[in-house]
Amino acid sequence: MKAGAEKKAPRWGGRSDLSPVGRWFWETDRVLLLLVAILIVIGLIAVAAASPAAASRLSGTNFRYAPLHFFTLQLVWTLVAIPVMIFVSMLPKTMARRLALLGAGIGTIVLMLVPIIGMERNGAVRWIDLGVTNVQPSEFLKPLYIVAMAWLLSLKQKDPALPMVSVTGALTFVIAFALMRQPNLGETVIFVTCWVALLTLSGAKMRFLYILAGLGLAGIVLAYFFYPVATARIDGFLFDAGDNGQTDAALRTLVSGGLFGLGPGAGVRKFHLPEPHTDYIFSVIGEEFGMLACIAIAILYLAIIGRVLIRMLNEEDMFVILAAGGLVIQIGVQAIINMAVNVHLLPSKGMTLPFISYGGSSMIALAMGFGLLLAFTRRNPYLHRSPYVVRWSGRE
């Protein structure tokens, strides 16, 4: 160093910043962060639009809820969820995996206890009352379950003799059984779909997947005849019976706004929806912001899925491929189910739209899952650079 010259401190956020936050910033997929941030902002706007309708419907003549009651709560949950997502995304991959495995074990036990210690709402026992709020354990278990299944299936690559397909199948059956007791058909579909997707990514034989598809079809038929919840949903969807009016109302609400919508707060049909701030928020967006806004949201979900799957093409760690792929597929499947219900392609499922629908458990659990996704997809930007560049940057 020349005389009189001073060594400059690394600028925060620059590539020479070696602090934990600085390294996280450069190693994390910032495109994914931007996409999910856009979804969260859209969600706050959508909940603000749906909140008066939800408050009016749930208050009745008592005026228990202010018009923006649910928006205020969603803003609080969002302010809690964002730090959770960032904290989880900063964890080393090994620690994130271990904590997820521990959480999956605890979450499965809690899920089994929900019918005993849970509270009933709308004929289902899915929530646990913690006093200050209600928690839905299945929401938190979804991302943890995916990481656990990804780890178990990745072990088969090291030792093909391990019966990991049978083990993961048995664990999935236990969780599905616990969910069906609540009853929670929608979440059961999510867990089983994610398991089949993980099997596909892990290289399962097509013949085995065809057998699973056949068993799944047989399961739907049996559920129709022997599971009252499935019978009511399918009858309502196919034969205009039961609660089919909900999906009809959702479709009419969605298309009433045309291409550009009626404008924020100008929606009228949303006041006739049963759950405008949760299950049917996509229809509220269509009425007030138009079909173009709905298409843009669908494109955002596709962009997140595509971004993760493309990044996994260059990944060599089977666990990371399965965990990241499974986590993004969970978000995608949940979004597809919610949007399909709103456009009358599927019967009502009680499924929230990820990062957009109102819900504390849903928002924090999704933030935790996305944080795990960001943790597993983090990459050192200097990993494939020349030794000269690495030495110059101070990352020897």
**Residue 274: its pLDDT value, please?**
85
Which band of pLDDT confidence, cut at 50, 70 and 90, is reported for residue 196?
very high
Question: Looking at the structure, do residues 248 and 189 belong to the same domain, yes or no?
Answer: yes
Which band of pLDDT confidence, cut at 50, 70 and 90, is reported for residue 393?
very low
Rounded CA separation 9/19 (Å): 12
Question: Looking at the structure, do residues 177 and 226 belong to the same domain, yes or no?
Answer: no
Question: Looking at the structure, do residues 101 and 234 belong to the same domain, yes or no?
Answer: no
User: Of 223, 239, 255, which one is at a domain's C-terminal end?
Assistant: 239
Q: Name which residue leads in pLDDT, 65 or 360.
A: 360
pLDDT (average), residues 188-215 = 89
Question: Looking at the structure, do residues 104 and 233 belong to the same domain, yes or no?
Answer: no
Residue 79 scores a pLDDT above 60: yes
**Residue 389: its pLDDT value, please?**
43
Q: Does a structural domain hold residue 392?
A: no
Rounded CA separation 342/280 (Å): 6
Rounded CA separation 142/358 (Å): 18
Question: Looking at the structure, do residues 200 and 119 belong to the same domain, yes or no?
Answer: yes
Question: How wide is the angle at C-alpha 355 spanned by C-alphas 350 and 361, nearest 5°?
Answer: 60
- Domains contained in the chain, number: 2
Please tell me the pTM assigned to this model.
0.87
Mapping DSSP onto H, E and C, the string for the chain reads CCCCCCCCCCCCCCCCCCCHHHHHHHHCCHHHHHHHHHHHHHHHHHHHHHHHHHHHHHHCCCCCCCCCHHHHHHHHHHHHHHHHHHHHHCCCHHHHHHHHHHHHHHHHHHHHHHHHHCEEECCEEEEEECCCCEECHHHHHHHHHHHHHHHHHHHHHHCCCCCHHHHHHHHHHHHHHHHHCCCCHHHHHHHHHHHHHHHHHCCCCHHHHHHHHHHHHHHHHHHHHHCHHHHHHHHHHHHCCCCHHHHHHHHHHHHCCCCCCCCCCCCCHHHHCCCCCCCCHHHHHHHHHCHHHHHHHHHHHHHHHHHHHHHHHHCCCHHHHHHHHHHHHHHHHHHHHHHHHHCCCCCCCCCCCCCCCCCHHHHHHHHHHHHHHHHHCCCCCCCCCCHHHHHHHCCC
Question: Looking at the structure, do residues 231 and 282 belong to the same domain, yes or no?
Answer: no
Q: Does a structural domain hold residue 13?
A: no
Question: Looking at the structure, do residues 120 and 216 belong to the same domain, yes or no?
Answer: no
**Residue 185: its pLDDT value, please?**
83
Q: Does a structural domain hold residue 65?
A: yes
Question: Looking at the structure, do residues 131 and 251 belong to the same domain, yes or no?
Answer: yes
Residue 94 scores a pLDDT above 50: yes
Residue 348 scores a pLDDT above 90: no
Q: Does a structural domain hold residue 6?
A: no
Question: Looking at the structure, do residues 293 and 364 belong to the same domain, yes or no?
Answer: yes
Question: Looking at the structure, do residues 309 and 370 belong to the same domain, yes or no?
Answer: yes
**Residue 133: its pLDDT value, please?**
78
Q: Name which residue leads in pLDDT, 67 or 145.
A: 145
Domain coverage including residue 235: 211-239
Q: Does a structural domain hold residue 275?
A: yes
Q: Which of 38-42, 50-54, 90-94, 119-123 has the highest average model confidence (pLDDT)?
A: 38-42
* Range in 95-104, 114-123, 335-344 the model is least confident about: 114-123
Compute the mean pLDDT over every residue in the chain, rounded to the nearest whole number: 85
Residue 386 scores a pLDDT above 50: no
CA diameter of the chain: 87
Question: Looking at the structure, do residues 187 and 249 belong to the same domain, yes or no?
Answer: yes
Q: Does a structural domain hold residue 274?
A: yes
**Residue 387: its pLDDT value, please?**
45
Cβ(325)–Cβ(201) under 8 Å?
Answer: yes
Output the six-digit token pair for 157. 């690559």
Residue 278 scores a pLDDT above 70: yes
pLDDT tens readout for residues 7-28: 555 555 555 556 777 788 788 8
Report the percent of the chain where pLDDT is more than 70: 86
Q: Does a structural domain hold residue 142?
A: yes
Q: Does a structural domain hold residue 49?
A: yes
Question: Looking at the structure, do residues 233 and 247 belong to the same domain, yes or no?
Answer: no
